[in-house]
Amino acid sequence: MAVDTYRIAMGAYGWQYPAWSDDFYPEDLPEEWQLGFYGNEFPVVMFPADYWQQDDAIIAEWIEDSGETLKIICEFGSIEQFLASEERLNILDTRCYAIACKARGSELSVDIISSLSSKPWPVCVELSDDQDLLDSAVLDEMSSRGIGLVWQGNKMPPRFENSRLALTKIERQDVGMRDLRAVVETVLQQTSDSQQTVIIFCGDPPNIETIRNAQIMLELL
């Protein structure tokens, strides 16, 4: 199903996990077909920053074999990595759904925020320090330019309302049903249909059943 048909699109942080060969991928599925198989069940995947270590030809093969509807959120380990890799995103063409960029709060100057907001993709920043350390003027500038902050599903969520991308990244692998429902309800309450709203589940490997449960829960709320 296309990502735009979901009120909240849910997916995993990457798809290359040997453990998934035991409980998700068919045993005889070739590795190069894994992303296509994944895309038959989930509408979005996060492309981890270290995947960019692969050659362009390999990345192009991933995209070619991944079907037609799967969207990709591209993670970068720093603003510098994103800006240096920007041309490589052409490999993904329209499959690049959004950008998640790690950064320190001290890096987020007005000029940097302006640069990020000028990109053709929605951009979300994942802070390496506490978001409370951000100056209110920086937060206002980010909000006014549609730049979001990644929420980890704990504490209070950031200001979702004006961001083009509302991205939640669940680092915990053992999320209970009560906590999962609280995250889904919070995202629903604080975002709108006009935003690109995504929840990404992490782990080594991400728990497939948790993602499925979150999708079912969304349908019931």
pLDDT, averaged in runs of 10, over the chain (221 residues): 79 96 90 93 96 93 89 96 93 94 90 94 86 79 94 86 93 88 94 93 95 94 86
What pLDDT was estimated at residue 106? 86
Query: By the 8 A CB rule, do 35 and 72 touch?
Result: no
Q: What domains appear along the chain, each with residue ranges and CATH number?
A: 3-220 (3.20.20.410)
Tokens matching residue 192: 């709108």
What pLDDT was estimated at residue 131? 55
Alpha-carbon distance of 89 to 210, in angstroms, equals 30
pLDDT digits (tens, 9 = 90+) for 127-141: 976 655 688 888 899
Q: What angle do CA 50, 44, 107 make, to 5 degrees?
A: 50
Helices (H), 24-72: 34-39, 56-64
What pLDDT was estimated at residue 129? 67
Tokens matching residue 53: 């270590």
What pLDDT was estimated at residue 130? 60
Residue 63's CB is within 10 A of a number of other CB atoms, namely 16
pTM metric for this prediction: 0.94
Sheet holding 96-103, edge to edge: 148-149, 123-127, 96-103, 71-76, 44-47, 9-13, 196-201, 165-170
CA 47 distance to own-chain centroid:
8
First to last CA, the chain: 20
Type of residue at 133? L
Query: By the 8 A CB rule, do 218 and 185 touch?
Result: no
